Amino acid sequence: MASMKPRTLSGFMELLPGPQQQMERIMEILRTTYARYGFTPLDTPAIESAEVLLAKGGGETEKQIYRFTKGDSDLALRFDLTVPLAKYVALHYGELSFPFRRYQIGKVYRGERAQRGRFREFYQADIDIIGDGKLDIVNEAEIPSVIYAIFTALGLKRFQIRVNNRKVLNGFYESLGLTEQSADIMRTADKLEKIGAENVRKILVEDLSIPADKADEILSFMAITGTNEAVLTALDAYRGRSEKLDQGLDELKTVVGYLADFGVPQENFAVDLTIARGLDYYTGTVYETTLLDHPEIGSVCSGGRYDNLAEYYIDKQLPGVGISIGLTRLFYVLGEQHMLSDTLNTAPADALILPMTADLSPAIRLATAFREQGIRTQLYLEQKKFKAKMSYADKLAIPYAVFLGEDEIAQGLCSVKDLRTGVQETLSAEAAAEKIRAGIDALNQGKVIVE
Amino acid sequence: MASMKPRTLSGFMELLPGPQQQMERIMEILRTTYARYGFTPLDTPAIESAEVLLAKGGGETEKQIYRFTKGDSDLALRFDLTVPLAKYVALHYGELSFPFRRYQIGKVYRGERAQRGRFREFYQADIDIIGDGKLDIVNEAEIPSVIYAIFTALGLKRFQIRVNNRKVLNGFYESLGLTEQSADIMRTADKLEKIGAENVRKILVEDLSIPADKADEILSFMAITGTNEAVLTALDAYRGRSEKLDQGLDELKTVVGYLADFGVPQENFAVDLTIARGLDYYTGTVYETTLLDHPEIGSVCSGGRYDNLAEYYIDKQLPGVGISIGLTRLFYVLGEQHMLSDTLNTAPADALILPMTADLSPAIRLATAFREQGIRTQLYLEQKKFKAKMSYADKLAIPYAVFLGEDEIAQGLCSVKDLRTGVQETLSAEAAAEKIRAGIDALNQGKVIVE
């Protein structure tokens, strides 16, 4: 008698086989694309010493962390892939070559309050380029190219990579004498799209006690929009106010200038002065990526430039630039928005071989031949009625059924049925393999995401 | 100032980029091969409710488990992939089609005492075929084919899949009236290779109080070796003693009988009566896989047939057959034995483009073109001396360096240097891509494991 009701913890994604195949396809695209840009895969432990993981200390992170002891050890599950990267680079500094480009796709853990679409265990898919002492600005120009390649390979067209530069923002607030309040101001400006300019102005003046003329300056700065060229030209008018702003503007122009060479179309890219991405960590270019038809989802790929990856672990200046995709949440919202292709081949096998004779040898030999040719093949071995076998193939959406009866065996042939069209042909094993492979190749042309 | 010495917990594998590439290659081969046999990928949470995970209860497992609370929840990290599979199949029973064939490659956690080559976090790579009510014996014959395909694809030749049937063993001990002692006897018989027949006999008679004549029978049963045919013929002499033994023998003959059809050569397979694989769980065919030149490693892929996967979670009879590869340990011992190929391409990129002009546009466009053609390409963007750039390519063992100076740009060409041969050619971008791709394809022919 069963004694325990099976359950999966709330906030933990566990997919059925079909959706899991879609997820695997997405991961494969991420791995391949990251690798194509010269990022090397890393895999660090999910458990770290708590004191190492929390070296930076504090805040929200520490409340959400899964922390526990085992024996004498104070342990914790990683809550992102950045801290483990910092540890890795510091620990293996002497064995790595810089710039060090790595990707990592792995699960991270945050004990957030459970709610729909929030996960406690989720995949992040990160890339970072780490320099030793210095890192050239052109690395920051390369990142949008990776983002563009990823989302295009996934099947998206209507997305926009939004870019800003923290030096432009910080330089601007510095020029207004508002450096100390800049964090509060940016947090307020971030709400511009949501609450409108009037309300932002009100918060700036009333809550943050910013003089009215400066609030107006901030609002007109934030109102700079238009084509990349228009935004950069408008920003040129701010030149000379602050060295930092000038430097940030030069960087922004470099990033925009190399876009076309990096293969990123203008329509998938925008300079957006409202983007700030957090408060302290990022120091140069920052990135967000939004789906144009689903702004409510927020950014699906974000990151930026930072000056010092591993200052808590090593006395070396290690500047870097990176982006992160919250893969589990992305997969969830794509599903919610009905954007995951339902024509994609998610069957466990390309072909199901149905032996129709007591001696299974010919069917097994056919399966072995198919497998050697790379066709994902299942042999149906259970003693069931024909109808039950076909219903199995249907339920799993296996594209091809292959029948092997006495007639076929006597003639050295097999019957291949395309289960989508219902068309059945009797063919040699070689011709059958060829037919199935061509059909599967066509099926696999489809993209994971549909708009 | 760095305030925390970075470290990785002992018992947790963290690889440098080169070895990580080898590990990724192995995982890719496992995924591809498992998929080719019609197994669908699954991914279950690393954390489960402790009471669900420990439903079966007890023993060594419970002592080693990572268990902790978060809020009111009593949680634990999975210690294998079988219990989560049982939970998954019970929980999603109504949504799955049977036979259900899944593979899962994932990390599991056991807080074992730290020692060389023992890991607390390690990958298991499992396949299982789960039937609903029944599962045909031919599924048990298919498993050696998967094992053979995996290890052959990895590059191994001198390995042996050893197979036994628990019904043969249990039937034999039943016929001697030793059913209750069979577990102790099998544990002793397991040491045959290590301590020799004389010592096994001594333990049987003196420690287990087995009558001398029965001890002799056990030893002569265990002494049945030779070709598969010889072993099966010798076992035929035991027919009629026990129904269970007869049934096990029939099953063993079916498994051996279909070997050739499943593409498994005789020399990679042996019926071995000393194999038992644990005590209760397995009920039919059992498997071990040994490297012939490294018997000290023990089995690198094991498993077997069981009668009831999920009895703690659901009142359904769910028989299955599965195998597991302890991937992290396998990787570790292959490294220790110097069996991981050092000619394999483990560089983060296939080509490193070195711009030699201030304007980076031509180099960036070349990188974009290479990447679109699937060549893993890194642009070297830092301001360094030429020698430093070449030393970077050398250290990372990047196969090709591509130079783009003013002359090349003026002629619409680029210079490609094969860094293994030192040969440099000036070519068009298309010819360069073709050359690099051909070279990389040749490099990637190599197997991960060398003997």
For residue B99, cis peptide bond before it (omega within 30 degrees of 0): yes
Predicted pLDDT of residue B62: 80
Contact B74, B49 (CB under 8 A): yes
The amino acid occupying position A296 is E
3-state DSSP call for residue A406? Answer: helix
* B269-271/B159-165 β-pairing: parallel
Q: How many CB pairs under 8 A join A and B?
A: 270
SS3 track for A24-62: HHHHHHHHHHHHHCCCEECCCCCEEEHHHHCCCCCHHHH
- d(Cα B269, Cα B347) in Å, to the nearest integer? 36
Strand order of the β-sheet with A400-404 is: A377-379, A351-355, A400-404, A413-418, A424-428
Residues of A in contact with B66 (CB under 8 A): 47, 68, 70, 75
3-state DSSP call for residue A142? Answer: helix
- d(Cα B164, Cα B288) in Å, to the nearest integer? 9
DSSP label at B339? Answer: -
Q: How many CB atoms lie within 10 A of CB A233?
A: 12
End-to-end Cα, chain A, rounded Å: 48
- d(Cα A66, Cα A62) in Å, to the nearest integer? 9
On whether B110 is known to bind a ligand per the annotation, the reply is yes
Predicted pLDDT of residue A60: 73
Residue whose entry in the numeric block shows the structure tokens 């076309």: A260
In this prediction, residues B285-309 reach a mean pLDDT of: 94
B contact test, residue of A22, A43, A121, A380 with most B CBs within 10 A: A43
Of A102, A352, A360, Cβ closest to residue B138: A360
Burial B388-417 (b: 16+ CB within 10 A, else e): ebbebbeebebbbbbbbeeebbeeebbbbb
pTM: 0.96
Using CA coordinates, name the residue in chain A closest to B142: A364
Note the pLDDT tens digit of each residue in B46-77.
999 999 999 987 677 788 999 999 999 999 99
Contact A150, A33 (CB under 8 A): yes
In this prediction, residues B330-334 reach a mean pLDDT of: 96
Q: Mean pLDDT per 10-residue run, chain A (451 residues)?
A: 91 97 98 98 98 84 90 95 98 98 98 86 98 98 98 97 96 95 86 88 94 95 94 97 97 97 97 83 95 92 96 97 97 95 94 96 98 97 95 97 96 97 97 97 93 88
On whether B80 is known to bind a ligand per the annotation, the reply is yes
- Cα A319 to the center of its chain, rounded Å: 22
Environment class of A57 (CB within 10 Å of its CB; exposed 0-12, middle 13-18, buried 19+): exposed
End-to-end Cα, chain B, rounded Å: 48
Residues of B in contact with A135 (CB under 8 A): 382
Residues of B in contact with A148 (CB under 8 A): none
- d(Cα B276, Cα B192) in Å, to the nearest integer? 12
B30 Cβ neighbours under 8 A, 6+ residues apart: B103, B105, B125, B150, B325, B327
CB–CB contact B6 A313 (8 Å): yes
Note the pLDDT tens digit of each residue in B382-398.
999 999 999 999 999 99
Residues of B in contact with A377 (CB under 8 A): 36-38
CB–CB contact B364 A88 (8 Å): no
The amino acid occupying position B156 is L
Q: Kindly report the CA angle at A7 between A5 and A8, in degrees rounded to 5? A: 165
Beta pairing partners, B73: B70
Q: How many CB atoms lie within 10 A of CB A424?
A: 13
* B413-418/B400-404 β-pairing: antiparallel
User: What percent of the residues of chain B are helix, what percent strand, and what percent coil, each to the nearest 5?
Assistant: 40, 20, 35
Which is more confident, B380 or B116? B380
Secondary structure (DSSP) of A94-121: GG--SSEEEEEEEEEE--PPP-TT--SE
CB–CB contact B46 A70 (8 Å): no
Helix boundaries (H) for A258-400: 327-336, 361-372, 386-395
B contact test, residue of A376, A380, A398, A404 with most B CBs within 10 A: A376
Strand order of the β-sheet with B400-404 is: B377-379, B351-355, B400-404, B413-418, B424-428
Query: B446 pLDDT exceeds 80?
Result: yes
3-state DSSP call for residue A315? Answer: coil
Contact B65, B47 (CB under 8 A): no
Burial B420-442 (b: 16+ CB within 10 A, else e): eeeeeeebebeebbebbbebbee
Note the pLDDT tens digit of each residue in B245-262.
999 999 999 999 999 999
- d(Cα B64, Cα B53) in Å, to the nearest integer? 13
The amino acid occupying position A392 is Y
A292 Cβ neighbours under 8 A, 6+ residues apart: A158, A159, A160
3-state DSSP call for residue B395? Answer: helix
DSSP label at B148? Answer: H
pLDDT, mean over chain B: 95
- d(Cα B182, Cα B188) in Å, to the nearest integer? 10
Nearest to B301 by CA among B270, B325, B285, B271: B325
B260 Cβ neighbours under 8 A, 6+ residues apart: B266
Phi-psi region of A59 (alpha: psi -120 to 50; beta: other; left: phi over 0): left
Nearest Cα of chain A lies from the Cα of B144 at a distance, in angstroms, of 12
B89 Cβ neighbours under 8 A, 6+ residues apart: B96, B100, B130, B309, B310, B314, B318
* A73-77/A67-70 β-pairing: antiparallel
Predicted pLDDT of residue B58: 65
Contact B318, B132 (CB under 8 A): yes
* B40-41/A424-428 β-pairing: unpaired
Of B96, B313, B348, Cβ closest to residue A101: B348
Phi/psi of residue A342, nearest 5 degrees: -100, 5
Q: How many CB atoms lie within 10 A of CB B384?
A: 15
Contact A321, A135 (CB under 8 A): yes
3-state DSSP call for residue B47? Answer: strand
- Cα A151 to the center of its chain, rounded Å: 9
Q: Kindly report the CA angle at A310 between A91 and B348, in degrees rounded to 5? A: 65
In this prediction, residues B174-185 reach a mean pLDDT of: 92
- d(Cα A99, Cα B279) in Å, to the nearest integer? 53
Torsion angle (degrees, nearest 10) of CA B165, B169, B174, B179? -110
Residues of B in contact with A8 (CB under 8 A): 44-45, 48, 87, 91
Nearest Cα of chain A lies from the Cα of B145 at a distance, in angstroms, of 9
Contact B173, B179 (CB under 8 A): yes
* Percent over 90 (pLDDT), chain B: 88
Predicted pLDDT of residue A277: 80
Contact B28, A24 (CB under 8 A): no
Predicted pLDDT of residue B60: 73
3-state DSSP call for residue A82? Answer: helix
Contact A162, A275 (CB under 8 A): yes
pLDDT band at residue B115 using 50, 70 and 90 as cut-offs: confident
Predicted pLDDT of residue B227: 94
Residue whose entry in the numeric block shows the structure tokens 């003089």: A211
Residues of A in contact with B139 (CB under 8 A): 381
pLDDT band at residue B421 using 50, 70 and 90 as cut-offs: very high
User: What percent of the residues of chain A are helix, what percent strand, and what percent coil, each to the nearest 5?
Assistant: 40, 20, 35
On whether B124 is known to bind a ligand per the annotation, the reply is yes
Nearest Cα of chain B lies from the Cα of A362 at a distance, in angstroms, of 8
Predicted pLDDT of residue A104: 98
CB–CB contact A41 B21 (8 Å): yes
